[in-house]
Amino acid sequence: MNNDIVNKKFYVIGLNYKKADVITRSNFSLSKEKQEQLLKEAKNLDIISVVILSTCNRIEIMGFAKHPFQLISLLCKYSNGTVEEFAKVSYVHKNSDAAEHLIRIATGIESQILGDYEIVGQLKCAFQLAKKAGTLNAYLERLFNVALQASKETKNKTTLSSGTTTVSYAAIQYIKDNFESYNSKNILIYGLGDIGDSTAKSSVKYLNNNNITVINRTDSKAFKLANEINVKATIHENLNSELQEADIIIVATGASKPTVTAQHLSTQKKQLIIDLSIPRNVANNVESLKDRKVIDVDILSEKTKKTLENRKKQIPLAEEIIQKHKSEFYEWLMFRRSTPAINSLKHSLETIQKDAILGYSKKHQDLNSNHIEDVTSQIVNKIVSKFAMHLKENNSQANQSIRMIKQIFKIEETSEN
């Protein structure tokens, strides 16, 4: 590989829903501004090829570093989490395990709601942000492409996503299962990022309700979506009155502190409040109000178990796809690693060839040196081709073979990270 990753390993450090609850994940969440700052500092610190994935269910940093603590310390610096807290709920993957981890995430097999493909869009955004910041190398670019290919194949060849239990749909299903006469109630959707937008569209599709209102800090976005899906929209100045009137409130804002508090809400009516935000954007004091039910993403995930049982049957097929794409990635990587050794071998053989032809020509002046060079060049190319084929067919022994060739032909060491 390139000299920029000599003595560095590929790491993924992070935490997710499996061990970290929603509050802990909130502490480590990173706004887009913080992500940009982190990427800039990582680049200045010579931490190579860094990508940040910060979603409602996971926060991860991946990149080449001398030690994973370089990535962990950056995460703690730009979030509200501490190293001690991170150590209790985190994971660290290295090299091939880290690469497979990314592929698994892209297929939806590691999502909190099995088969949730919202992660694909989030991965693409993470990739684009890193590309804009100039923190991508060929390794991660290729790995991201492989991960997205695995995701596409999983979606096309399995039913891992059947029933569509995304976070957005899970919220809609909860309303249908737990709120009487939901199709005649006033529904307010506050916040129209990716999840809010998706939830609004799912509401129209599955709730058969003509009393849906959308509201967003940017008014134009709310009115554009309302026109697109035929619901109501209002300006952000009307937020307080809309919160007072709504029977069902879905909060999908992306603020760093609560956007809905007890002071915003009516004390005269029963309300269901679904908080899809990370960090939580519904204040803790809301739950103390009478006739108020607050649901967050952790609770929603528990409500999808029946659908998930059917999806679990598709896991073996998804695992096969993951391993296939992982193997393809490592074939590419091994070829990339072995190319310098193959080129060096060819150069060494060509040097031996030229010395031999020169020495032989001095003794046999009447020989056709051009003809000898043509014939021996074919021999050199066949030897190099045989070596390259050996590396491809014996992937597990490739590093050992490369080391042996380097020793025999006195080839200088190159990085194998």
Active site residues: 56
Give the whole-angstrom CA distance, residue 21 versus residue 1: 39
Dihedral (C-alpha) 93, 301, 255, 231: value to the nearest 10 degrees?
130
Give the whole-angstrom CA distance, residue 335 versus residue 183: 58
Question: Amino acid identity of 313?
Answer: K
Burial class (CB in 10 A: 0-12, 13-18, 19+), 330: middle
Nearest residue to 128 (alpha-carbon basis) of 35, 258, 222, 16: 35
Packing angle, helices 32-44 and 118-133, rounded to 10: 50
Rounded to 5°, angle at Cα 362 from 359 and 364: 105
Burial 16-33 (b: 16+ CB within 10 A, else e): bbeebebebbbbbbbeee
Radius of gyration of the chain (CA): 28
Residue 312 neighbours by CB under 8 Å, 6+ apart: 114
